[in-house]
Structure formats: C-alpha cells, structure tokens
C-alpha cells in the first residue's frame, strides 16, 4: 500500500495536471467560437458558388476543361491528408490517419499532399511520395489554401496525378467529428443531382458564354473547397480538443478524490498503529 507521502505527491501531481487541462479546455472553447464564426461566414459564398456551378453544368453542352476530364492513366492518384498541427484532441488525428492508411492499402499507386503537422509525420510511414506539406493554422490559412489549390491544379493538368482525393473531418456537432474521404478531381457532372433537374436554357444567362464562365469558376470552386475543408478541420480540431480536455479534467478530479480517500485511510491506519503501539507499551510497563 502506498505511503501517505507517496499519495500526497500523487495528488499534487494530479492537481497540476488538472490545472493544465482546465486551461487548455478554456483556450479550446475560446478558439472554437472564432473557428465556427469563420466557417459560418464562408457558407453563403459556398452555397452561391455551388448553385452557380450547378446552373453552369446544366446549361453547357460540352465542357472543355481539364477539371472535368479523366486523368492520365498509369500515373498515381493524388490524396490530400488534412489533419491538425497539434495533438491532445483524443482520437481526432488518429481517425483521419487511419482512413488515409486504409485508402493507401486499397490503392497502391498514390502521391500524397499533407496539410497539418500531424499529417506530415504520419505520411513518413506511408507508401508513396509526399509531394508537398502545408501547415493548417500557421500563417494565412487562405493563402495556404490558394497555394495548395495551385499545386494540385498544376499537377493534375500536367498529368502528374490522375485524380485528387481529400481526407478531412466533417464537423457533425461538438461531440462528433467524422472523417470523410471524397473525390475532388475530376469533377463529374453526374454527381450534381440538382444539375439533372435544371433544364437547359433556364432563366439564368451567362455572358459571354456558359463555357467561358465555367472555365473561370472551376479553379475558384477548387480553391474554396480546399479552404472550406481547412476551416472545418480547424473547427473540428478545437471541438475534439474541448471534449478531450473536459474528459481529462473530469478524470483528474476522480483520481484526486480516489487518492484522497486512500491517503485518509493510510493516515488513519498510521494513527491507529501508533495508538496501539503506545497502548501496548503502557501495558507492558504496567505489567
């Protein structure tokens, strides 16, 4: 059984840990508000650009754009693994990395792009070449998204990669962040269900031509898709960290209570032992 001194040291260490997790919980709660605000501010633009893309796909006869053509055969498929820069968020990063590993086992010929320090570290153990790495929340996130979009655009149009797949989290709610795997390039018109319902030659008119506008819109659509994924990954990370630090704080409190009970029992046992020794010594002297 641990001594009173050992238990006291253990309780002191747990209290220090509890202070750290409580502080990180407060930081995550403050940062997730800003991350959610940025994500909500981007939604109207995302809805508008998506609606315009559906209208354009429905109104063009044939699309002559590299984003809507099949990639070059016999070249690796590109995969963007998007994680957080830091840990201490439960299984958030591990779930994303596990999904990327499963996709890597199912598709042998892949080239990787890493967004986030944890993704960079995980891809060192993964088969396939890591073409470039970007941080998630360091520096200007929109500038990083533009650089990422430009790099994958150059690689796809030049035939260096045959497709582009994104592994990123979806923020369902504060308690749930679900990893998702979705194809970004090539863009398939049949995937847009609303486009099939929109008749050609509708009320929307595009100048000079729908094909011209679509050629300008698709790069912006890719750029904003990646930027939106970065915003959602950042918000999901802070939500996961908030939950993890809240659980860690609660667990530290439970351990402190358990060790306090054990310390009190050990102290009471020591006091009882001393009293018995005193009583035994007194009876020995009296006898």
pLDDT band at 202 (very low <50, low <70, confident <90, very high): very low
Q: pLDDT value at position 204? A: 62
Helical (H) or strand (E) element with 40: helix 4-59
| 258 or 197, higher pLDDT | 258
Q: pLDDT value at position 139? A: 82
pLDDT over threshold 80, residue 54: no
Half-sphere exposure (Cβ direction) of 171: Cα atoms closer than 13 Å: 20
pLDDT band at 201 (very low <50, low <70, confident <90, very high): very low
pLDDT over threshold 60, residue 195: no
The whole model's pTM is what?
0.82
| 43 or 198, higher pLDDT | 43
Give the mean pLDDT of 79-86. Answer: 94
Q: pLDDT value at position 193? A: 42
> Do residues 94 and 162 make contact, with C-beta atoms less than 8 angstroms apart?
no
The residue among 153, 156, 158, 118 whose CA lies nearest residue 134 is 118
| 108 or 17, higher pLDDT | 17
pLDDT band at 148 (very low <50, low <70, confident <90, very high): very high
Q: pLDDT value at position 206? A: 66
For tokens 């315009």, the residue is 52
DSSP character for 265? H
Phi/psi at 181 (5° precision): -125, 120
pLDDT band at 231 (very low <50, low <70, confident <90, very high): very high
Question: In this predicted model, what pLDDT tens digit does every residue of 212-226 receive, in sequence order?
Answer: 777 788 888 899 999
Signed CA dihedral, 129, 151, 80, 120: sign only: positive
Q: pLDDT value at position 137? A: 83
pLDDT over threshold 50, residue 200: no
Options 3.40.1380.10, 2.60.40.1120, 1.20.58.220, 3.90.1010.10; which CATH number does 25-243 get? 3.40.1380.10
pLDDT band at 62 (very low <50, low <70, confident <90, very high): low
For tokens 């045959």, the residue is 162
Residue 246 to residue 91: CA distance in whole angstroms: 14
Half-sphere exposure (Cβ direction) of 78: Cα atoms closer than 13 Å: 27
> Do residues 202 and 140 make contact, with C-beta atoms less than 8 angstroms apart?
no
Residue 158 to residue 131: CA distance in whole angstroms: 14
């Amino acid at each position: 059984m641990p001594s009173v001194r050992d238990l006291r040291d253990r309780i002191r260490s747990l209290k220090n840990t509890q202070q750290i997790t409580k502080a990180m919980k407060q930081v995550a709660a403050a940062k997730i508000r800003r991350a959610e605000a940025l994500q909500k501010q981007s939604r109207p633009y995302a809805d508008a650009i998506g609606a315009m893309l559906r209208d354009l796909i429905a109104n063009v006869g044939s699309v002559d754009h590299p984003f809507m053509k099949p990639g070059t055969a016999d070249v690796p498929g590109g995969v963007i693994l998007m994680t957080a820069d830091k840990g201490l968020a439960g299984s958030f990063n591990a779930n994303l990395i596990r999904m990327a590993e499963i996709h890597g086992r199912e598709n042998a010929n892949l080239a990787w792009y890493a967004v986030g320090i944890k993704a960079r570290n995980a891809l060192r153990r993964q088969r396939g070449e890591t073409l470039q790495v970007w941080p998630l929340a360091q520096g200007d996130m929109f500038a990083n998204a533009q650089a990422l979009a430009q790099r994958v655009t150059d690689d796809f149009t030049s035939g260096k990669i045959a497709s582009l797949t994104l592994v990123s989290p979806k923020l369902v709610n504060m308690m749930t962040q679900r990893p998702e795997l979705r194809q970004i390039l090539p863009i398939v018109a049949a995937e847009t269900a609303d486009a099939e319902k929109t008749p050609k030659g509708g009320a929307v008119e595009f100048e000079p031509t729908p094909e011209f506008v679509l050629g300008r819109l698709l790069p912006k659509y890719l750029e904003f898709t990646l930027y939106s994924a970065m915003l959602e990954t950042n918000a999901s990370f802070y939500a996961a960290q908030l939950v993890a630090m809240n659980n860690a704080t609660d667990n530290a409190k439970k351990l402190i209570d358990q060790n306090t009970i054990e310390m009190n029992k050990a102290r009471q046992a020591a006091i009882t032992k001393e009293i018995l020794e005193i009583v035994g010594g007194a009876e020995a002297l009296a006898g």
